[in-house]
Structures are given as C-alpha cells and as structure tokens.
Amino acid sequence: MTEEIIISTIKKNGLYFAVGVSNSTNKIVKISLPKSDEEEVISAILKQYPDFIISDEYNDLAWKISDIYEGKEVNIDLEMFDLRTDKSNRELPLKSHFMKIVLLETCKIPHGKVETYKNIAKKIDSQAYRAVGTALAKNPFPLIIPCHRVVKSDYSIGKYGGGSEMKKKLLKNEGVKIKGNNVVKK
C-alpha cells in the first residue's frame, strides 16, 4: 500500500510551485522545483508518490518556497520534513544516512553564501565529495535545503536539478556575485 500525499500548488510570477506532504505524518516528503506548467510540478512529485490528492491545505508553505526562489530569507522548521532513511523503502524521501547528514550540513549554509562540495565533505568527516554531489542531486527538498548554494571547488556553478541558469538565478537573487559560470569569491 502506498502512502497518500497531499500536493499543494501555487502560481507566482508565471511559475508553479508544489509541495508534497504525507497525509499520515503531516511531514514534507517532496518539493518540486518551479516550472511554467502545473502538471510538470505535480508530476515531479508523482514519480515517487503516485497516491495523492490535490489540496490547498499547504499553499502557505508553497508561497514560502516561492519566496525562497525570489531570494528572500525564509526560515522553515526542519521538524516539518520527513528525514527518515531507508534504502529499501522507495517511499521514504531519504535513501541513506549519508544523504541525511549531507542535507543537514547543507542547511547550515547561510543565505547569500556558498560552500563547495569538498568542504561539505570535510565538515561531515568524509573525503567523498563526489558522493556529496550525488546526495545533493537527489535532494527531495530543493530551495528549502539550499543545494543551490553548493558549488565546485573552483567556484564554478556545477550542475543543478533545475539547470545551471536556475542555479545562477537563485544565487544572484540571494546577492551572490556571478561572473560567467563562476561565483565571484569575496
């Protein structure tokens, strides 16, 4: 039996934002990066959680996510997230304990600042900086857990689920200086 998810969507400045919340735990299980089509943001959540209902119950949370996209500093309590891990359970948002510690360390990056994959690895006592990148690529809570603030060791932007242009836009919206594909070090 699959877990039922409540999906709330909003439209702001021509983009749709969606959040998926477990109906049984009332915890956030998935956030979709913004898209110009509502069906696409819902579809991003349905890949992992096919049993769902659409509701405006969590629209306030979707509005906060849209504010983050615009560069506003928004605090959302991590207690609201389903941070359980289990490789064998397809429905849980996190697939490993390593992923969880990477995401929690990423939450510590201040608004308007960046960190490198390598430094995140060092901070969690690991040398697996590529694995840090892999964990962030699977971040089920983009924007709120700010994987867009993590860049390569040479301060080039690196990859992002929404594309490098979206990553640059997010960083610029937070006041980070970008030249070409690189963050300008202060």
Which residues are the active-site residues?
A: 147
Longest dimension (CA), the chain: 51
Task: State residue 21 phi and psi, 5-degree precision.
Answer: -125, 135
Rounded Cα distance between 176 and 45, Å, is: 29
- Three-state SS for 115? strand
